[in-house]
Structure 1
Amino acid sequence: MPKPIPTYPLSNLSNQLDDETDVFLLDTKVDQPKSAVNVPFRLNYYGIGICISGKAELKANLETYTVEPGSLVILPPQVIRQFVHRSDEFRVLSIFFTLDFISINSTINIDRFPFFELDAVHVFRPAKQSAEQLETFLRFIKHKYDTPHPYRQEILRNAIHIVLYDLAALYHHQATLAQSLQTRNQTITAAFKKLINQYFLTQRSVAFYATTLSITPKHLSETVKQVTGKTAGEWIASRVIMEAKVLLQISVVSIAQIANQLHFADQSTFGKFFKNNTGMSPMRYRLGS
């Protein structure tokens, strides 16, 4: 059986942290991460941040986002992410925490927050006043993080709870506004992408997704192409390739095992699929990443 996809722990963020770290607040570029962030990767913690300077291009699952001052970035562990570009001035005031940390002595159910769903919008810009209020509160948390206190962990945990509930209201407003502005074709495309994230491991035909959406394959293909500039088949392939790239970073998992985990008939079929979509063989990608 293939091994599960590895996830980077909080200690990957900085040489200042150890493997037991379960909460961390970052307001400057303290260190380069111990693992590359310009290739697809996953993490084992949640992250919430607001960009305070610079600019970056972030890929999260099937979406590409521009992160600039005032942008909120919210990422749960299961999302595959990749920084395509980060300017030298790029800074995000961020708080990171594990599920264990936020759940201690608490009845909070983190899965209830829609912004932590796999198919959520992971980067958006709230109103200027809301962004400024969030930045102010994150700086308050940073002060508590840096200040010795016998109940430091409890203070941080409860402060993060407040952030989560504030974000829930912001996200609901943003999602409602976005939905009201969506065209029918954009709604179909969004539903299609959500289905890809659910079924890409076993379902790669446009017909499957069209049937699930109760439309014809021709209608789905034309709609997705019109909205995104890419065909439905290209979007499906992109999600498979994204997962493959994460798996190929695990040197102890063979390419044959990866082909099996991704439900290809054999290693050869997987190799052809990967090369057709990336221009290189799986082994070449592995050696280069």
Structure 2
Amino acid sequence: MSAKTTEKIKTYNPSRFREKFLGEDNPIHLLFKSNSDHFFCLEIEEIMQMQYPVPPSKNSCHTLIFITSGKHVMKLGYQEYITTDNEMIMVPAGQIFSLDNVNNIHKGFICLFHPDILIGKYGSREMLNEFDFMKISGNPKVAFASKDVPDITAILNRLQKEYSETESANLNIVQLYLIALFYEMNKNLVKSTKSISAAEVITNKFKELIHEHIKTNHFVHYYASLLNVTPNHLNKSVRTVTGKSAAKWIDETILLEAKYLLFQTTLSVSEIAIQVGLEDQSYFSRFFKKNEGISPIQYRKMIDKS
């Protein structure tokens, strides 16, 4: 990372975070050496100056965080994950996440990489299906056995070297090391002794589908038809696995998408209503206030003041 980029990050003012986030001097964007690379890998200590709360957000890149000492708390969607020593969490591109800060992280690595890096000379979409942590509905966290930690650290050190010591990262090298890392992660995933139930299969597919279609369709019967089940069967399966109805999952996903758009874009409330498939602005505002307790405009003002 260049001294100029480091200095920009150090002088970053958290009180103007939303404005910075929307501009070219977004602290994450500063770490990309070029728009074509869209890759960086650094020790967490190098970017500790970037501590700030992050409301619901999305990134076009996959984010991988490995903690060797300390604790990291992040929400993916509405699920909170605590990552601690010798654990790794993956935030898939397009997944909505939020966090308070990174004050409790002492050592580790953070790596961001564009999905296109994985589909190239050595990769394929079929291969990526092997990695559950890359899916929106998958388990994003992996705990490593002590004996495997040196191997994980070695891979991340090599990725860091490729980022820090070269003019432009060799993406073929990056891809190979990432694939090796993914297979190490797969090896350390806790395998369940029980087979996955039919309800869990349906629920996982449903979660993937609402992530893909939330901007265009909000009806349980629509998702049931895509899954070739009845709406009643879909609802029963989702409630059995998650404790919430399919309709509740749809509503929460609309709300989360709206919160992300209120924070991470300059779209007006009426434009955001259209983006989440609720073209009536007044209905959207009532929906948002019913579920969040404040109006969309109040939510955006709250973020700007934080």
Query: TM-score surpassing 0.5?
Result: yes
Following TM superposition, the consecutive aligned residue runs of length 4 or more in structure 1 with deviations greater than 6 angstroms are 6-10, 14-21
Deviation at 1:10, TM superposition (A): 9.1
Note if contact 1:9-1:45 (Cα within 8 Å) is conserved in structure 2: no
Which residue among 66, 82, 87 is the counterpart of 1:50? 66
Compute the displacement of 1:253 (Å). Answer: 1.4
Change (3 A) 1:16 1:133: closer
Alignment partner, residue 275 of structure 1: 289
Is the Cα–Cα contact under 8 Å of residues 143 and 189 in structure 2 kept in the other structure? Answer: no
Closer, same or farther: CA 57–248 of 1 in aligned 2, 3 Å: same
The match for 1:107 is: 121
Does the 8 A contact of 1:74 with 1:123 survive in 2? Answer: yes
- Closer, same or farther in 2 for the Cα pair 1:283/1:202, shift >3 Å? same
Counterpart residue identity of residue 48, structure 1: L
Match of 1:234 among 230, 245, 248: 248
In structure 2, what residue type is equivalent to 1:167?
A: L
The alignment-based identity, stated in percent, is 24
Would you say 1:244 and 2:261 are equivalent positions?
A: no
- Structure 1 residues 190, 268: closer, same or farther in 2, change over 3 A? same
Distance 1:49 1:57, change over 3 A: closer
Number of aligned pairs? 277
Per-residue CA deviation, residues 149-207 of structure 1 (Å, 9 max, x unaligned), is: xx5645x6444223222134245557794596423322222122112112222222222
Q: Using a 3 Å threshold, how does the CA distance of structure 1 residues 85 and 225 change in structure 2: closer, same or farther? A: farther
Which stretch shifts more, 9-18 or 126-135?
9-18
Matches within 5 A, 1:247-262: 247-250=261-264, 252-262=266-276
**Deviation sequence 1:240-272 (CA, Å, 0-9, x none):** 111101111256311111111222131001011
* Residue matched to 2:154: 136
State the distance in 2 between where 1:266 and 1:43 align. Answer: 28
Equivalent in the alignment of 2:42: 26
Q: 1:230 to 1:99 in 2, by over 3 A?
A: closer
Check conservation: 2:66, 2:87, Cα contact below 8 A: yes
Structure 1 residue 233 displacement after superposition: 1.5
Q: Describe the superposition over 1:111-131 as per-residue Cα deviations: whole angstroms up to 9, x where unpaired.
A: 553444554443222444334
TM-aligned CA distance change 1:237 to 1:32, over 3 Å: farther
In structure 1, stretches of 5+ residues that fail to align are 1-5
* Residue 7 of structure 1, CA deviation: 7.3
Which sits farther off after the overlay, 195-204 or 54-63? 54-63
Partner of 1:95: 111
Correspondence list, 1:1-289, <5 A:
12-13=27-28, 22-29=38-45, 30-33=47-50, 37-61=53-77, 63-83=79-99, 86=102, 88-89=104-105, 91-98=107-114, 102=117, 107-108=121-122, 111=125, 113-114=128-129, 115=131, 116-143=134-161, 145-147=163-165, 153-154=168-169, 157-170=171-184, 177=191, 181-250=195-264, 252-289=266-303
In the superposition, relative to structure 1, how do residues 223 and 236 fare at CA in structure 2: closer, same or farther (>3 Å)? same
Q: Deviations over 1:62-100 (max 9, x none)?
A: 644332222222334322221256552354412234468
**Aligned 8 A contact 1:49 1:93 in 2:** yes
SS in structure 1 opposite 2:73?
strand
Q: What CA distance in whole angstroms lies between the structure 2 residues aligned with 1:159 and 1:8?
A: 30
Task: Report the secondary structure of 1:54's partner residue.
Answer: strand
